Amino acid sequence: MCPLYLQTSIDNTAAECYFYLNCGANRYESPGAAQRAETEVRNAARAQIRRKNPVCFKHAFIKDRWRFSMLRVGIMAHPQKKLFREKLPELLELFKRSGIRVFFSGDIMEKSPHHFPEIKILPARDIPAYCDMIFSFGGDGTMLRTIQVVGDRQTPVLGVNLGGLGFLTEVTLEDFTPTFRDILDGKYHLEERLILEGRIEGQEKPMHALNEITIEKGRSTRVIEVAVEIDGKYFNDIVADGLIISTPTGSTGYSLSSNGPIVVPTSECLILNPICPHSLTNRPVIIPAQSKISA
């Protein structure tokens, strides 16, 4: 089994997060300010780390003096959702009237019956770098895939529910127009959520997850043994069907189904939760968010 390394920060800073958009009171003022703010906060975070006093973005990034004008938005959606394809012309007209430039992921336009020569199509992985904000149209699955694409960038994301559970996507398509106008008027706030960055030994590209990263036995009928280290120190040998490393946001997902605790989503912690452990002593454990886990 290839070793898996997990951490929740870049260069030991509290930078691994995504911003979940809600109604509130903050807006940015000038193009590029978001990128400059990100750089300033990363530098501040590194300075704080050197003083052994970690800084969290929610205390530094969301400030009135760091505001931006939303000029470019990225659209990511479930390509099979008929409702989205039907509403697409109306959405584009809304963005056009507002002076917003729109970037679409290529998979959306492949499924659309309409042709819009004025819009910019990009690979999904490139959208976060070009956009001030991303709208995710679909369900929770679409939202989770969007966050995987955003990765460690600080691009705010708003989920728009097109039916289904919508646990992470509270805005409906019917409510999108007034919500969008509220955003333009600065009537929103940014809610920070922790994400995971995982690396598999031998692979350069990291993976990102909003809910959890899971090590599991696959098709085998036997339990597996997972040797876990936290911050380079031995923690435990877990004999089970697998191991869930969950964020607070993911505590109500797969981890909860495996008898894990419910954690306030904005908390700064991680959950280590064995799946059907062989030993009664292997129970869910909550650890600091800054921990680096090797398994």
pLDDT tens digits along 124-175: 888 998 898 999 998 888 899 999 999 888 889 999 998 777 788 889 988 9
Active site residue 140: yes
Rounded mean pLDDT, 114-128:
77
Running DSSP on this structure, what letter comes out for residue 150?
H
> To the nearest whole percent, how much of the chain has pLDDT over 70?
72
Say if CB 215 and CB 227 are below 8 A apart: no
| Predicted model pTM | 0.72
- Which pLDDT does position 219 carry in this prediction? 87
Q: Has residue 286 got a pLDDT over 80?
A: yes
CATH number of 196-294: 2.60.200.30
Distance CA 133, CA 139 (A): 18
Contact predicate 292/6, CB 8 Å: yes
196-294 shares the fold of 18-25+68-192: no
* Whole-number average pLDDT of the chain: 77
Q: Domain limits of the chain?
A: 18-25+68-192, 196-294
Q: Give the active site residue among 107, 132, 140, 231.
A: 140
CATH of domain 18-25+68-192: 3.40.50.10330
